[in-house]
Amino acid sequence: MDRLCERSYRARMASGRPAIRRRWSSLLVTVAMVRAFALPVMAQTPADKAGEINAGAGAARAAVIALRSQRFVEALRVVDEALGPLVAAKGEDDREVLTLLILKGQACYGLGRPQEAIDALAPFARSLEAPAPLVGPGSDWNALTVLGDSFMALDRWSDALVTLDRARSMLADDGRIDPRSKAINTATTLGKIGTARARLEDWPGARQAFEQQVAALGGEAEGGGAYLAAAHNGLGIVADNVGDLAAAAEHYSQAAKIYEEQFGLEHPYTKRALTTLARVRGKLGDTQEADRITARLASVDTMPTTIPPTLQPVPSTIPDHPATTPRPLVTGPVIAAAAAAVALAGLTLCGFLARRKRVGQRDQGDGVADGDATARSETKNA
């Protein structure tokens, strides 16, 4: 009897050894697969971060080139592709991230999407509350100008005024621009400030801004003729609204003259200035001059039904661009991770089924051994 028990114990131990070996083999295969997938990813993390940073700088250069050519769709695509990895690598308050957000805001505004421009420029605007600007004086005032333009496009004139006043202050402190370019940029910003004040019916403030715009341009049409005409047009609107019709007629006349020299009689700005001048001349009792201006306008095409609402010149037409191709969701790392998960699940299932089978066979073998032992015992007793 003791020999039978010992033989059964040895049989069980012998049947268990292959199972233990198979379990260890499955475990080793799983560990090897996990290491093969995880270690390369961990090893290339610093290089990936450096590559993402370099890609951010390259994206900024490409976006600037696209913006200068008014290829706003291309600029927006380049910036969006670089922003995600760069934010993950450096955080949202980094200088390069803010630079890309500024470029995104400019692209969105150029595409006629002012609210998206405001959202993109919001982190930059918050960063200006720090003791020192994170990007740089030139980029800062220019970005604030775009933010102000976006507020103006949504008729948020108070927000636009605060933003543009700050941009003007930054521009005045920027000593790196050549004097002529600084004069043009200052005049442009002052014109927008005057427009915002006029929309808020702050006529004294609007007059002051437009007069400063004329002074910044030196009173000469050369180099900034469209903005000088817009300044006189703004001064005419201010005088018209406060009841000074003689001053309004003088400014409208100067604006119409410069617009016609710059763009021709058929341009909407020229037609608008001449139409307003004819109305004011009629109010002053100079009907002969009013009729003469009206006859000139009748000699060209009919006045357009819609006129741009801004008092400042608008950018040229944005060219059409093909839609960007969406980025694929299935990439190499995703496929590798899925394959590793499937392999691990398969190994686990195979081990479970094999273990069930071995347990069943062992139980069946134990039953047969016990039956044989009982039969031998009965035979011996007989």
Residue pair 194/311 in contact (Cβ under 8 Å)? The answer is: yes
List pLDDT tens digits, range 122-171: 888 888 876 555 555 556 788 899 999 999 999 999 999 999 999 998 88
Element (H, E) at 146: helix 137-153
Residue pair 268/284 in contact (Cβ under 8 Å)? The answer is: no
Domains of the chain (ranges, CATH numbers) = 186-314 (1.25.40.10)
Angstrom CA distances, 141 to 55, 166, 371, stand at 25, 8, 96
Distance CA 175, CA 173 (A): 6
Kindly state the DSSP code that residue 360 receives in the 8-state scheme: H
Distance CA 30, CA 38 (A): 12
List pLDDT tens digits, range 22-40: 454 554 445 445 454 444 4
Distance CA 231, CA 313 (A): 11
Three-class DSSP category at 236: helix
Residue-wise over 155-183: b if at least 16 C-beta within 10 A, else e? Answer: ebbebbbebbebbbebbeeeeebeeeebb
Per-residue tens of pLDDT for the chain, all 382 residues: 555 445 554 554 445 444 444 454 554 445 445 454 444 444 444 444 445 455 667 888 888 888 888 899 999 998 999 888 888 888 777 888 888 889 999 999 999 999 999 999 988 888 887 655 555 555 678 889 999 999 999 999 999 999 999 999 888 887 778 888 888 888 999 999 999 999 999 999 999 999 999 998 875 545 567 888 999 999 999 999 999 999 999 999 999 999 999 888 889 999 999 999 999 999 999 999 999 999 988 887 554 444 444 444 333 323 333 333 444 545 555 566 666 665 666 656 566 556 666 656 655 555 544 455 444 444 444 4
Distance CA 180, CA 173 (A): 15
Mean pLDDT of the chain: 74
Query: pTM of this prediction?
Result: 0.62
